[in-house]
Amino acid sequence: MLAQPATPAAIARRDAVIDIDPDASCLEIQGLSLAYAGTPALSDLTLRVPRHRVTAFIGPSGCGKSTLLRALNRLHDLNETVSRRGAIRLEGQEIHAPEVAVAELRRRVGMVFQTPNPFPMSIYENVAFGLRLQGGLRKRQRDEVVEWALRSAALWDEVKERLGDSAWSLSGGQQQRLVIARTLAVKPEVLLLDEPASALDPISTLKIEELIRNLKSQLTLVLVTHNMQQAARVSDYTAFLHGGELVEYAPTDALFTNPRLARTENYITGRMA
Ligand SMILES: Nc1ncnc2c1ncn2[C@@H]1O[C@H](COP(=O)(O)OP(=O)(O)OP(=O)(O)O)[C@@H](O)[C@H]1O
Ligand SMILES: [Mg+2]
């Protein structure tokens, strides 16, 4: 079949999407379309996510940010109404390939949601949870990983004297950092964050942002945020989505100071809801 001739709009969009070096990319999304009960939510998205960088997904409510993030660790698997086309590769391997175990994929690609969701157990046990599921660690080794994960999540100093207390005794901001520590404990390669600070106060938000910036030395981060200042503060690359399409994808500085397309400019300047 002959390829459709590209429309001027499609050419403009293609020019506004940065091409990340395949060798430097951790995730590769190619021609991804997704629909809920036949209603499209993502249309033919193609982008690469660079390794050890923070990539932000921005765009108006309902544009498909969470849908895309959830696709990256197969959270749609249990939704029978979802249909999907296209490829998602993690370090070159298609995540839907039959040999990929979904539990192992979710260990490699961790996810943190908007509302902190610590388990009803102690601070220590929350972080040790995934390690216990994996098994194989002696108590001393487990203690070391728990401390490492809590330090990585910038929470250790606040909780080291009270590891046996209920996780629910922590503040919202501390709970979110605990959830990040729980995710880090199993050593993921990618951390997906869906508006991780939108339920938090400004000080807790700044702590999460600092944490995100510091974590990129360890892993690849993908951040969904409504807050454009936040995207500008923490991300290296920004993808602007609208109506389920990838409109523009560029280094964050370039996207915010010199957007290529009018649609992007209208959004970042507040002319589009
Ligand atoms: N489980 C679902 N079943 C049916 N439709 C859904 C489901 N989840 C999302 N949608 C629809 O898919 C589209 C994209 O939703 P999504 O949650 O990905 O948007 P979003 O960009 O994350 O929005 P927000 O900024 O409000 O969180 C919307 O039209 C939404 O109504
Ligand atoms: Mg969302």
CATH number of residue 44's parent domain: 3.40.50.300
pLDDT, residue 266, reads: 94
Residue 2 has pLDDT above 60, yes or no: no
CA distance 88 to 31: 9
Task: Determine whether the shortest distance from the Cβ of 67 to ligand 1 is under 6 A.
Answer: yes
Give CA–CA dist 72/48, Å, rounded: 12
Q: With respect to residue 169, please indicate whether it lies within any of the assigned structural domains.
A: no
Q: Is the CB of 71 under 6 A from ligand 1?
A: no
Q: How confident is the model at residue 208 (pLDDT cuts 50, 70, 90)?
A: very high
pLDDT at 57 over 90: yes
Is residue 124 one of the residues assigned to a domain? no
pLDDT at site 19? 87
Q: Whose CA is nearest to atom 16 of ligand 1?
A: 64
Whether the pLDDT of residue 1 is over 60: the answer is no
41 Cβ inside 6 Å of ligand 1: yes
For the Cβ of 36 lying below 6 angstroms from any atom of ligand 1, the answer is: yes
* 65, two tokens: 């940010």
Ligand 1 atom 2, closest CA: 36
How much is the average pLDDT of 192-211?
93
> Has residue 87 been placed in a domain?
yes
**DSSP label of 97:** S
- When the pLDDT of each residue in the chain is averaged and rounded to a whole number, the result is 94
Ligand minimally distant from the alpha carbon of residue 75: 1
- Contact 239 CB / ligand 1 (< 6 Å): no
Q: Domain for residue 172, yes or no?
A: no
CB 6 within 8 A of CB 208: no
Instruction: Say what the pLDDT of residue 13 is.
Output: 67
- Residues near ion ligand 2 (Cβ under 5 Å): 66
| Structural domain span for residue 245 | 8-116+188-268
Q: Residue 137: inside a domain, yes or no?
A: no
Q: How far is the CA of 40 from the centre of ligand 1 (A)?
A: 10
CA distances from 199 to 80, 225, 228, 267 (A): 30, 12, 16, 23
* Residue 128 located in a structural domain: no
177-195, pLDDT tens digit by residue?
Answer: 999 999 999 999 999 999 9
Across the range 142-153, mean pLDDT stands at 96
The number of C-alpha atoms within 13 Å of 135 and in the hemisphere containing its C-beta is 0
- Counting Cβ atoms within 10 Å, is residue 68 exposed (0-12), middle (13-18) or buried (19+)? buried
Domain count for the chain, please give it: 1
Dump pLDDT digits (tens) for 70-91. Answer: 999 999 999 999 999 999 999 9
Pocket of ligand 1 contains residue 63 by CB under 6 Å: yes
Residue 13 falls inside a structural domain: yes
Q: Is 202 a member of any domain?
A: yes
Identify the pLDDT of residue 18.
Answer: 87
> The whole model's pTM is what?
0.94
pLDDT band at 23 (very low <50, low <70, confident <90, very high): very high
Extended beta strands in 214-256, E state: 220-224, 237-242, 245-251
